[in-house]
Structure 1
Amino acid sequence: MEENGSEQPLLQVTGLNIGARYPNGDKPILSDVSFELNSGEILAVIGESGSGKTVLARALASWLSPPLIATAGEVRFRGTDLLEDTEAAKRLAGREIAYIGGNPAGALDPTMTVGAQLVEKLRAVRPDFSAAAAKDKAIELLEAVRIPAAPQRFNEYPFQYSGGMMQRVMIVDALISDPALLIADNITQPLDVTVAAQILKLMRELNDQFQTAVLFICSSLPVACDASDRVMVLKGGRVVEMQKPAQLVQAPHTDYTRKLIAELPRLWDPSTHSPTAEREIARPIMSVKGVAKAYEVSRRGQFGKSLVQAVRNVEFDVYQGDNFGVVGESGCGKSSLMRLLTGLERPDAGEVLFEGETVSHASNAQLRSMRRRFQLVLQDPYGSLPPQSAIGDILEEPLKIHRIGDRTERRDRARAVMSEVGLPQELYNSLTMGLSAGQRQRLNVARAMILEPKLLIMDETLSALDQTEQGKMLDLFERLQAQHGFTYIFISHDLAMVRRVCSRICVMYLGEAVEVAPNERLFFDPGHPYSRALLSAAPTLEERRYRPEDCLLEGEPPSPIDLPPGCAFASRCPHAFDRCRIENPTLTSRGDQALSACFLNPQSTLTAAE
């Protein structure tokens, strides 16, 4: 970006102190935070959980609420101190200063169409716009953020949008008032890698087009470096470093930043340990045999139902001691597959077997018995725990359900499991509200392992945690596996995490398994172009093995309601040819336990020729 010379910064924060005010005294959250942000600049803010990133975002958006209070400093926007002039702060919030959070689903009204909400927002801040003019502008911005068929999608409801499209809608919602400053608070953390890469590319393009200044708050150092002109590092509420991305990576000033860089998992570093399972292969612990699942949805404005093809003919085996990964974009069928694996839903076709017993056709009593031997750990560390139950009661509940032990034995077992996952014993009688996100996930893991299962299914379990907490949790999983011999299935969009912990990986696209391969083979020699696209979009500080410009996908996958003939990936594949649009490839061996559903594989070509 160009230097502004003597021009006044758009945003100037000086000596900002923010604390939490309690009857017994103030607890400092931010201390002496100072920085400047110019028009057309993107400043990334990075730091671990508890460093004060979100509190800073709320302060700049004038959204501080008790017990949070600014105790010192200035926040000047175009020269006006927003902490002193509260009327100006209210007037600017949502107009000149816009905010986007990382939970788009919770920010939109599910009872109103997306277009109606955008028009309502624009006319609230710009009463001079007519309804027709507001609609035109909303559609123009939806097209700018690459929402396909924007005039038609304008009239759809939030539930009809994918996660990536919802995040783009929130960008439109923020930009519709032509703000000068955009505060983006962890907007890519919940997204899969390809959608996150598209969002970052889009943010850059909009930044160039509208000269909007962006404060980009992030938990991933590679994402922060990809997205920004400068990176500001927060630790314990203080600014410890601020540099341009390349300088920060090459010559960090502080031990804390050096530690953040050193902790990053490496995707293609030759010294990276590639996980291999010490497993018993005589019989799989879980077998997935050609499972399929479709859901009925109403046709909007029409009679009758349509079918969403969520899972289509997925097949793989998981062996005792395996760390088996399932990866893919939002909407690829990962969560639907999880519900089939755990017996929460029954497949329309095919079967899931656990230790040779059917999960798919088991009675409720049989499933209850099986669930002592396999457990599920969910993504949301907040919504998955009852807020009014003590931690000890949460842990003892599975033992009560399965009638294991007396009161003393249950309490002793719960305390032992707390120690194993690193939760302090003094929390036994506490409620969950005071726990950090990392502690909540430790509690979820403890609740799952208290029954001593053989298989743990992790559904995006680490996606809500920052880089440091993720590393701690992965260390915990490795230790628990060494102690108890657990088998893990990791359902995730985080390729760096999968690279570190998974021995074999299944790549899903639009409900199908398009590749199943050992870790090393997938990352260094993927057999499907979709796998290469995922790898090209993975955030990393390494030199990329696959270039985004060659591999990165644009647009959305085809609708699972109206699947195209042939390969569902053909419309986005840079190598598709005529056969791909007519015939759907099936998983074919590539040797060394690797399978891929692509006609460009040598075995696929050979089979076709024969």
Structure 2
Amino acid sequence: MSEAHPILRVRDLTVELQSAASRRKVLDSVSLDLHADEVLGIIGESGSGKTVLSRAMVNWVSRPLEMTSGQIFYHGEDLRQMPVRQLQVLRGRKISYIGADPTSALDPTLPIGHQIVEKLKSVEPGISEADARKRVIETLQAVRIPSAAERFNEFPFQFSGGMMQRVMIVDALVTSPDLLVADNITQPLDVTVAAQILRLLRDLQAEYRTAILFVSSLLGVVNDIADKVLVLANGRVVERQSMQGILQSPEHEYTRHLVRDMPRIWEAQSEVPAVRARVNSNHGREAILSVRDVSRTYATKDRSRLFGKQYVQAVRGVSFDVYKGDSLGIVGESGCGKSSLSRLLSRLEEPDSGKILFKGQDVGGLRGTALLNLRRGFQLLLQDPYNSIPSHLTIGRTVAEPLIIHGGRSKAEIREKVAETMAEVGLGPELAHSLPVGLSAGQRQRVNIARAMVLEPELLILDETLSALDQVEQAKLLGLFEKLQVRHGMTYIYISHDLGMVRRVCSRVAVMYLGRVVELAGNGTTFFNPGHPYTRALLSAVPAIEHRPYDAATYLLEGEPPNPINIPPGCSFRTRCPFAFGRCAKDEPTLLARGSGDLAACHLAEGGMPAPGMSPAGLHDLNPVPALRSGTGA
């Protein structure tokens, strides 16, 4: 039960952005209450004021932002009136904050455990070094970091993004705070790690009775953790309800818009129009890109041996075809090899073995002018909408850059083509002479899209291109990609951890694990009858507002994939698979046919779902989840 008096009470909080010419309200008269055993979700699209609100909760707002009115009460004390020194002690000990970028939150030159110990000793001066170390290791164990005592002495670069987010949770919880502000902490993480973090927060909140203010731009994520929800739009609270009330009977039009735009994966009424309209059979279709047994290994320094090397097997024997006018999704956890594969597909790197054929031509053997000419046909769009655009060039000049490099057009023709392309992707002509400063993340991605489209490519490779955007911006850009596909016959490869987006737009899906493709199937098969337990584990972790047919209690993975330097023998997924049996430790499964064009690398799929023309092997009892019925025909 919640306490009668809230831990946090905010009344009529207003924050303004000051500039030389004007003042603009970023938050406008925001009020909220948060109790001891409660998780309050804050939802809204980019620019709604979520992050400013989360920082205001710890009195962490600085110029050009200014809190101009309102009160923030913590246990009845107004934080805005509290002396700075008292506030600093309180903020480190009883009020904790976790941001969205864990990789830059700690000093990269010091071991993580030592940094957290120093923080603990600074807020609890009386604690001994030994006791501080013991408490930090116990908290590292509580957030399920394996070999916590050994990893205590490791540096931030030795941790993955998901593990670093766990470290930041330790940093926040080691002082046993009663208020935790979590600002978009799952946004940069893949679905399984994000689901682990959410489950971990729920467990820790129940144990410590910590009140959590959970900020996110994704409604499905908030649905997985929040008790109550506050909806922000343009800096104002437009609705506050229970999570169930938000989903079943949203009152404000903006909230209804958020619920409507949330991708549906399994609901029968979900039509998935972009997928439904495509041809399901690949028989007789032209392959625009063919990948044949491609592998890539990276040599890295072995710190345990002088001059020693160790080898990371990033991509291992990958093969598939991408058909003209198709949309292929490539999914998997961080570290599964998706981005390494994208660099190979876009010819930024060459494979150690195997071939990549673009329209029948081996791209690996091309150099100089031949390679430059080939690049007209395919373009790569990356994740970061900020660092991928030069800040010193106007938007028009940035979009024109590929045309200038490839030559063959007059200045007038280039200006005309740039204006036409900018208009097609939704960028106004007034932006052509502006610098990118001040553009939103969605606008910046439109600049990236325009820069790629200006060469009229046939294939676009999108490597987590939409992952940094909120669901509203994602929906807008997905609509744009669908229009471009219809208008120009575009072919797409979506590399993503967002399975909701993949469900909406991709006709086929390749699932990667530890550098291998472990399943390759049509959209409907992937989401309603997957043949690999890893695919089902990914689906059990999808943030959704609908019922998940794959139970997280059975499928949700703990920890992370094995080290790609030391891949276990047999099936590489067996160390995390809930259904592994003796053969899995000895024989590595290969991709076998399950149906028309559907493949899975699993010994269970081999027995329970035979190739066409083969009789069933009677392994249906071992198949952990029966096939689901798709309502889409996709």
TM-score using structure 2 length: 0.93
Give 1:366 shift. 2.8
Match of 1:81 in 2: 78
SS in 2 for 1:553: coil
Match of 2:295 in 1: 292
Q: Is the 8 A contact 1:280 1:321 kept in 2?
A: no
Measure, in 2, the Cα distance between the counterparts of 1:558 and 1:474.
33
Match of 2:364 in 1: 360
Give 1:173 shift. 1.4
The one-letter amino acid of 2:588's match is N
Match of 1:486 in 2: 490
Measure, in 1, the Cα distance between the counterparts of 2:82 and 2:491.
58
Q: Where do 5+ consecutive residues of structure 1 fail to align?
A: none
Measure, in 2, the Cα distance between the counterparts of 1:269 and 1:605.
25
Deviations 1:358-397 (A, max 9, x none): 2233224332221111000100111111112111111111
2:542 aligned with 1:544 = no
How many residues were matched structurally? 606
Measure, in 1, the Cα distance between the counterparts of 2:295 and 2:152.
32
Measure, in 1, the Cα distance between the counterparts of 2:70 and 2:590.
62
Match of 1:440 in 2: 444
The one-letter amino acid of 1:33's match is V
Of residues 22-31 and 357-366 in structure 1, the stretch that sits farther from structure 2 once superposed is 357-366
SS in 2 for 1:285: strand
Measure, in 1, the Cα distance between the counterparts of 2:264 and 2:155.
40
Match of 1:93 in 2: 91
2:453 aligned with 1:455 = no
SS in 1 for 2:462: strand
Match of 2:631 in 1: none
2:375 aligned with 1:375 = no
Q: Is the 8 A contact 1:589 1:603 kept in 2?
A: no
Give 1:602 shift. 4.2
Q: List aligned pairs for 1:252-267, cutoff 5 A.
A: 252-267=250-265
Q: List aligned pairs for 1:124-135, cutoff 5 A.
A: 124-135=122-133
Give 1:222 shift. 1.6
Measure, in 1, the Cα distance between the counterparts of 2:106 and 2:488.
44
Q: Alpha carbons of 1:606 and 1:464: their partners in 2 closer, same or farther (altered >3 Å)?
A: closer
Q: Alpha carbons of 1:120 and 1:367: their partners in 2 closer, same or farther (altered >3 Å)?
A: farther
Pick aligned residue for 1:513 from 501, 517, 523: 517
SS in 2 for 1:347: coil
Match of 2:397 in 1: 393
Match of 2:39 in 1: 42
Q: Alpha carbons of 1:214 and 1:404: their partners in 2 closer, same or farther (altered >3 Å)?
A: farther
Give 1:85 shift. 2.3
Measure, in 1, the Cα distance between the counterparts of 2:93 and 2:23.
32
Pick aligned residue for 1:418 from 409, 415, 422: 422
Of residues 354-363 and 51-60 in structure 1, the stretch that sits farther from structure 2 once superposed is 354-363
Measure, in 1, the Cα distance between the counterparts of 2:371 and 2:283.
24
Match of 1:239 in 2: 237
The one-letter amino acid of 2:393's match is S
Q: Alpha carbons of 1:3 and 1:121: their partners in 2 closer, same or farther (altered >3 Å)?
A: closer
Match of 2:321 in 1: 317
Measure, in 2, the Cα distance between the counterparts of 1:568 and 1:168.
25
Measure, in 1, the Cα distance between the counterparts of 2:609 and 2:485.
41
Deviations 1:76-120 (A, max 9, x none): 112221122251333322332211111111212222222222222
Measure, in 2, the Cα distance between the counterparts of 1:18 and 1:154.
40
Measure, in 2, the Cα distance between the counterparts of 1:380 and 1:281.
37
Measure, in 1, the Cα distance between the counterparts of 2:13 and 2:285.
62
Match of 2:267 in 1: 269
Give 1:282 shift. 4.3
2:337 aligned with 1:333 = yes
Measure, in 2, the Cα distance between the counterparts of 1:153 and 1:314.
33
Give 1:281 shift. 4.4
Measure, in 2, the Cα distance between the counterparts of 1:438 and 1:553.
32
Measure, in 2, the Cα distance between the counterparts of 1:518 and 1:30.
45
Of residues 458-467 and 541-550 in structure 1, the stretch that sits farther from structure 2 once superposed is 541-550
Match of 2:623 in 1: none
Match of 1:28 in 2: 25
Give 1:456 shift. 0.4
Match of 1:220 in 2: 218
Deviations 1:110-159 (A, max 9, x none): 22222222222222322323333222222111111111111122222222
SS in 1 for 2:310: strand
Measure, in 1, the Cα distance between the counterparts of 2:451 and 2:125.
53
Give 1:310 shift. 1.0
Deviations 1:463-514 (A, max 9, x none): 0000111100100000111111110000000001000000100000111100
Q: Alpha carbons of 1:530 and 1:265: their partners in 2 closer, same or farther (altered >3 Å)?
A: same
Match of 2:153 in 1: 155
Q: List aligned pairs for 1:191-202, cutoff 5 A.
A: 191-202=189-200
Match of 1:301 in 2: 304
TM-score using structure 1 length: 0.96
Deviations 1:28-79 (A, max 9, x none): 1111100111112111100111111011011112221111101110011122
Give 1:302 shift. 2.1
Measure, in 1, the Cα distance between the counterparts of 2:143 and 2:428.
46
SS in 1 for 2:17: strand
SS in 2 for 1:273: coil
2:187 aligned with 1:189 = yes
SS in 2 for 1:513: strand
Measure, in 2, the Cα distance between the counterparts of 1:45 and 1:606.
47
Q: Is the 8 A contact 2:592 2:606 kept in 1?
A: no
Of residues 89-98 and 510-519 in structure 1, the stretch that sits farther from structure 2 once superposed is 89-98
Percent identity over paired residues: 53
Measure, in 1, the Cα distance between the counterparts of 2:213 and 2:504.
31
CA RMSD, Structure 1 to Structure 2 (Å) = 1.7
SS in 1 for 2:409: coil
The one-letter amino acid of 2:217's match is S
Give 1:208 shift. 0.9
Give 1:280 shift. 9.0
Pick aligned residue for 2:64 from 49, 61, 67: 67
Q: Alpha carbons of 1:466 and 1:396: their partners in 2 closer, same or farther (altered >3 Å)?
A: same
Match of 1:170 in 2: 168
SS in 2 for 1:24: coil
